[in-house]
Amino acid sequence: MLATFVLWLILSAAAMAAMLRLALHKTIVIADASRNQAGLTADSRQTGLALELRQTESSGGVFVIPIPENVRAEDVAVENRYMEKELWIHIRSDSPRFYEDNAVSGDISAITEGRYEVQPDGVLLKLTMDRLQEYRSTMNDTALEVAGCEPGELYPFIVVIDPVGGGSEDGLSGYGYKEKELALQVAKLVQDKWTLSDIKPYFTRTEDVEVSAEERAALIRDVDADFYIGIGAAENPSEEGIYGIQCYYNEEYFIPDFGNVELADIVTRAVTIAASNRALGLAPAEEDSILKEISIPAVQLSVGYLSNDRERGLLQQEAYLEKIAEGIINAVEESCREMAD
């Protein structure tokens, strides 16, 4: 009996210690934020105040952000803004001037600039980084500890998903329907439905904002993507009876084992099956296509023809676009299996 009591006492003490550690160190979820994604917002009228950065002894890639007194984990929101290479931290606090006298410290070698702006409900810290990274953070009573690492260290496979257009670039815009809006809607559905934990999708945009060809290419390079899927539509005013799913690929760039043709075939088939539509096959990319500049397996998916009355009607139904999104996710999963074999 005594031995059993002692054993239970030891186990209870260990459990209590673990609970105390969890209470003192809470993980802060870092939201994925593509180009100008809604979430944390900055005041465009402010340029922000300089945030002091102080290099101190620390394990590689870890820096510490001091937190005002009485701030709880639920008062802190963090966004990784991939396209801008920025980390935004919003802190609800009644001490917005706290950062006049407190510095970000640790391994700050990846931080090129730090600024903060006072907001009605607290303060927004904006850290500009020299490269795109993933971050993990834990918080105790006095500080937020942030550790950076390369995307490839966390995810076996990485895909860049790129809805065409954005901002002033409408893409196809005939028939009262803009290609950029359709592509964005599909991309956001892919993001919402994503459940593949070992495959990381990076989106060039999740809002209607301008993204240059150079920025799209930079994202592919910065995350060391395994493959790329562009999302768009097609039209043929001279033959309005044409409809169906199609993929474009760079026929001039050969990649052994798993390349552009293989990816285009999988994407076309998976999306066609999911949408219960018909496949129009594969087609070579135009000379001015972004596919000509990409050296990894890459395709441009056309989800349908805006010039076909029936298909245009389907493309305006969210239930149908959900099927297309599911087909894209299925294609990504199958492609990763093929690349792994």
Q: Residue 20, Cβ neighbours under 10 Å: how many?
A: 10
Reply yes or no on whether the pLDDT at 58 is more than 90: no
Distance CA 79, CA 74 (A): 14
The residue count for the chain = 341
List residues bridging with 127 in a β-sheet: 87, 114
Amino acid in position 277: N
Q: What separation in angstroms does the CA of 161 have from each of 44, 63, 87, 178, 242?
A: 28, 30, 21, 19, 26
Q: Poorest-confidence range of 5-19, 78-92, 93-107? A: 5-19
Q: Residue 289, Cβ neighbours under 10 Å: how many?
A: 16
Reply yes or no on whether the pLDDT at 26 is more than 50: yes
- Domain annotation for the chain: domains and CATH numbers: 26-149 (no CATH), 153-340 (3.40.630.40)
Distance CA 203, CA 186 (A): 12
Question: Residue holding tokens 């998916």?
Answer: 301
E-only strand ranges, the chain: 26-28, 30-33, 49-50, 53-55, 62-66, 76-81, 86-92, 104-106, 111-119, 122-129, 134-139, 143-149, 157-163, 199-203, 227-234, 245-249, 279-284, 298-305
Tokens of 158: 């990485």
**In this predicted model, what pLDDT tens digit does every residue of 251-298 receive, in sequence order?**
988 888 899 999 999 999 999 999 999 999 999 999 999 999 999 999
- pLDDT (average), residues 182-204: 97
Identify the pLDDT of residue 38: 54
Identify the pLDDT of residue 40: 87
The secondary structure of 112-153 as a DSSP string is EEEEEEEETTEEEEEEEESS--EEEEEE-SSEEEEEEE-HHH
What average pLDDT does the structure give for the chain?
90
Identify the pLDDT of residue 37: 58
Q: What is the CA radius of gyration of the chain?
A: 24
Question: Residue holding tokens 């959900």?
Answer: 322
Q: Poorest-confidence range of 163-177, 190-204, 234-248? A: 163-177
Whole-model pTM: value is: 0.86
- pLDDT (average), residues 149-176: 93
Reply yes or no on whether the pLDDT at 15 is more than 50: no
Identify the pLDDT of residue 201: 97
Contact of 106 with 58, CB cutoff 8 Å = yes
**In this predicted model, what pLDDT tens digit does every residue of 118-140 receive, in sequence order?**
999 999 999 999 999 999 999 98
